[in-house]
């Protein structure tokens, strides 16, 4: 099943959900598969400087792993296509209006936004505002097409 590419459909159907857990980003100079299994990261990315793990904060604290900031995760529960254009720009701009940083991971089915822990509720409200505007535009466009042949 392929994901949605149309921006208006994505915005009006994105259903943002705020995860209860806190997360941190940690970097390791090399990838150790045993360490990876032990830490159970929700995300991994290889960079030339090392390997970034996204971990549950409790896990990082328990394992005495250093981190700089704590984030909350907002998942957009709409199956967005990896080829969709504008979704990241739309929610990033909305969050930037509210002075909220966004660390985005686009996975196969959904977009995942890590926002500062202390601004998580505000970020969720901002994305819900964006969704509401997308829904209103979708309804207006649909009505326009009903009355104008």
**Model confidence pLDDT, tens digit, residues 67-95:** 999 999 999 998 988 899 999 999 999 99
Could you tell me what percent of the chain has a pLDDT over 70? Answer: 89
**Is the pLDDT reported for residue 137 higher than 70?**
no
Burial tier of 16 (Cβ tally within 10 Å: 0-12, 13-18, 19+):
buried
Q: Residue 99 and residue 80: Cα distance in Å, rounded?
A: 25
pLDDT at position 31 is: 77
Per residue in 42-58, pLDDT (tens digit) is 999 999 999 999 999 99
The count of residues in the chain is: 149
**C-alpha to C-alpha distance for 8 and 102, rounded to whole angstroms:** 21
Residue from 61, 91, 65 nearest 52 by CA: 65
HEC profile of 71-91:
EEEEEECCCECCCCCCHHHHH
pLDDT at 149 over 70: no
- The rounded mean pLDDT for the chain is 88
Q: Which helix (H) or strand (E) holds 15?
A: none
- Residue 148 has a pLDDT of 55
Q: How sure is the predictor about 141, in pLDDT bands with cuts at 50, 70 and 90?
A: very low
Q: Which of 71, 67, 68 is nearest to 95 (CA)?
A: 71
pLDDT in tens, 7-33: 889 988 889 999 999 999 999 998 778
């Amino acid at each position: 099943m392929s994901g949605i590419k149309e921006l208006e459909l994505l915005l009006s159907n994105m259903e943002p959900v705020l995860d209860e857990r806190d997360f941190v980003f940690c970097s390791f100079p090399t990838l150790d598969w045993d360490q990876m299994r032990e830490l159970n990261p929700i995300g991994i990315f290889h960079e030339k400087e090392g390997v970034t793990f996204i971990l549950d904060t409790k896990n990082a604290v328990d394992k005495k792993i250093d981190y700089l900031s704590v984030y909350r995760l907002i998942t957009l529960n709409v199956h967005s296509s990896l080829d969709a254009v504008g979704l990241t720009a739309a929610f990033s701009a909305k969050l930037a209006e509210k002075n909220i940083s966004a660390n985005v991971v686009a996975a196969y089915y959904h977009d995942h936004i890590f926002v500062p822990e202390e601004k998580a509720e505000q970020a969720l409200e901002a994305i819900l505002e964006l969704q509401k505007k997308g829904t209103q535009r979708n309804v207006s466009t649909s009505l326009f097409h009903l009355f104008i042949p």
